[in-house]
Amino acid sequence: MFSKLQILTMLTSTISKLFMTKMVCRGANMFRCTTSAAKHFSTNIDNSIVMPHIQSSYPVVLDLTLGDGGTAKDLLSNTSSKVVGLDCDPKCMQTISKLQEEFGERFTGYLGKWSDLPMLLNRDGVELGACDAVIMDMGVSTNQVLDKDRGFSMEGSGVLDMRFSMEGLTCEQILRSAELESLSRILKVYGGVLKSRTVARDILERKYMMEEIETTDQLLEVLQNSHDRDEFWEEKGEKLKHENIQKVFLGLRMFVNNELNEMEFAIRLAEVVLSKGGVLVCEVGSQVEQSLVTKFIFRKSATVGNVEEGRAPVVHQLWELVEGTSLEMEEGGTCLIFRRC
């Protein structure tokens, strides 16, 4: 018999194979996805948001977005929780060491992607057990946004990198080899960019003129010019123009980091590890992220059991949105809480 986590490990490789196939089909130049700075960058999820939805006095919390450790530290300091934290950014090793030093056995930290977690737990022989809460605070951490070499900020001049894990292709490499159709699709699907084809064409045109886009300010300049030239934006005003430019950064970030597939995996993981009544607390920084999370949650929200001949199947609901939890967060973004049924 396989444990649920072993099955998820197998699913991981299937998902990545499927993803690779999709990418190859889209064109030899397409790889993985990126992001940018559409969201606030510091955390808002804390114990006052999570704890009212948890029954256990000694909860087990899986923080899938450890970042600078703000959420984890708040839970460890103010509640009796045990926290398992994960982040794929190698720079989070510092956060992990600090939390381990301060909270000992109550905190366990891993470096890796969401899709690596089953393998990491298997490797260390760790039984996660039933979790009371899974936390996903999507977007970019404060340290990531402040580090110009990471390319997450639209402000100032930074290297056009945008990789959370610091592995794989950078945003700059992706733009260098992208083709019109693929780039336009990435911007539209991952970022919800309006006039995505025009924007993609203007980005690529710069390349054909042998001018590289290697930094965030160079990308910003191309996008600004592209929007200023396009009559479509004349009536719309500066605010909408700026939001659309932010969406370009968001779409690229999401593509670079394969965020769609990772997000789907994380939601499946939450389905497996959460105990009945446990909650997935998810902070999203953009409308696109919000609709993707909701889609992934409710697309597979039902399992069918006991199909007897001639009878209607019994449908079990996997998730429900906890009422009144669509909180607008201080620094932007929305927090949604889903309960595992």
Which residues of this chain interact with ligand SAM, rule CB under 6 A?
Answer: 43, 65, 67-71, 86-89, 113-114, 137, 139-141, 144, 164, 257, 262
Contacting residues for 179 by C-beta, under 8 A, at least 6 apart: 27, 29, 30, 204
Identify residue 189 by its one-letter amino acid code: V
With respect to ligand SAM, which residue has the nearer C-beta, 141 or 196? 141
CA dist., res. 121 & res. 245, Å (int) = 39
Residue labelled with tokens 């039984």:
127
Is the Cα torsion angle 140, 145, 148, 149 positive or negative in sign? negative
Instruction: Provide, rounded to whole angstroms, the least separation between the CB of residue 157 and ligand SAM.
Output: 22
Closest to 259 in 3D by CA, of 197, 195, 191: 191
HSE on the CB side for 176, CA within 13 Å? 13
With respect to ligand SAM, which residue has the nearer C-beta, 241 or 271? 271
CA dist., res. 308 & res. 135, Å (int) = 38
Instruction: Provide, rounded to whole angstroms, the least separation between the CB of residue 48 and ligand SAM.
Output: 14
With respect to ligand SAM, which residue has the nearer C-beta, 89 or 271? 89
Instruction: Provide, rounded to whole angstroms, the least separation between the CB of residue 77 and ligand SAM.
Output: 13
With respect to ligand SAM, which residue has the nearer C-beta, 90 or 313? 90
With respect to ligand SAM, which residue has the nearer C-beta, 114 or 338? 114
Instruction: Provide, rounded to whole angstroms, the least separation between the CB of residue 265 and ligand SAM.
Output: 8
CA dist., res. 133 & res. 339, Å (int) = 9
Instruction: Provide, rounded to whole angstroms, the least separation between the CB of residue 135 and ligand SAM.
Output: 7
With respect to ligand SAM, which residue has the nearer C-beta, 45 or 220? 45
Closest to 62 in 3D by CA, of 86, 84, 47, 82: 84
Instruction: Provide, rounded to whole angstroms, the least separation between the CB of residue 65 and ligand SAM.
Output: 3
Residue closest to ligand SAM, measured at CB: 67
Per the CB < 8 A criterion, the answer to whether 266 and 64 are in contact is yes
